[in-house]
Amino acid sequence: MTGGVIGGSSVVRARAAGGKNRERFRRSASDSLLFRFLSPLFVAVAAIALWHFTVVIGQMPPTVLPTPMRVLEAATQNSDALWANTGPTVFVALVGLAASVLVSIILSTAMAFIPVLRTATLPVLIAAQSIPVIVLAPLFVIWFGFGLGPKILLIVIAGTLPMTIALLQGFLSADPDAMVLMRSLGANRIKVFLRLQVPSSLPFLFTGLRVVASFAVLAAVFAETVGAQSGLGIYMMTQKNMLRTDLVLAAAVVTVLLGLALFAMTYVLETIAMPWERRRKAMRSE
């Protein structure tokens, strides 16, 4: 009788322990860095496999959809041309991104200090944002020609608004009690801005930067498709006209990689700019 009870309870205990272990395993597996890198990689490999078998089973001609291997082969054979056209696109995207950050900083700072400016210019900026890039890109070619300048300008026009709004939101997110404290400690308006509002805006800055970064490569490529001397966009158009679908896709893969690299760059910058966040994250994952 007693033996039965002991046996029963130990079974329950064992089961409970097993459940806890499984739970712990599940949590640690989904949290580990390796898993975080491997799981998207797995999805990417699965998508490529799906692509490959679609082509093989559907017996598609390479001009419609080449296999992933064929795209890779075409890319290595034409790597010089791909590289030559990647340069201008990267340049346009990076300079456009940097310029829109610079313009946003100037605009949002002015708007943080002068409320009238905020109410007067925000609607105009939003209106400017609603003009589609599809319309602007060809017009810019007509107005300013095929050079890199008009493409950078296009990214600045489209990228400045989200950045400006993000930064302004960041400046205004500073705790009003902290502002009173700073004033009582002898800070003037400019010092409150530099020592409180600017650091408060950093998380907003990087969120905005990620939005604009993912969009910058896309806008650069699109602007090039309309007309350019070189760049991934015009390269894709040329190859498409020659029915080199494999090279169009190779250029598309390069575009994706560029976007990812730019996105990763925002995280690197964030870590450098906000060392306290790095320590906080490290503490949380422990």
- Would you tell me which residues interact with another protein (CB under 8 A)? 175, 177-178, 180-187, 191, 195-196, 199, 202, 274, 276, 279-280, 283
Closest by CA position to 247, among listed 47, 50, 82, 80: 82
- Nearest distance, CB of residue 182 and another protein, angstroms: 7
Q: Which is nearer to another protein, 131 or 180 (CB)?
A: 180
With contact defined as beta carbons under 8 Å apart, do 130 and 189 qualify?
A: no
Q: Which is nearer to another protein, 198 or 254 (CB)?
A: 198
- Extract the tokens encoding 144: 């300013």
- Nearest distance, CB of residue 213 and another protein, angstroms: 23
- Nearest distance, CB of residue 177 and another protein, angstroms: 6
Q: Which is nearer to another protein, 90 or 187 (CB)?
A: 187
Q: Which is nearer to another protein, 182 or 228 (CB)?
A: 182
Cα–Cα distance measured from residue 81 to residue 97, given in angstroms and rounded to the nearest whole number: 25
The answer for residues whose C-beta is within 8 angstroms of residue 58's C-beta and 6 or more apart is 65
Cα–Cα distance measured from residue 231 to residue 86, given in angstroms and rounded to the nearest whole number: 6
- Nearest distance, CB of residue 222 and another protein, angstroms: 38
- Nearest distance, CB of residue 285 and another protein, angstroms: 14
Q: Which is nearer to another protein, 3 or 176 (CB)?
A: 176
Q: In one letter, which amino acid is 107?
A: L
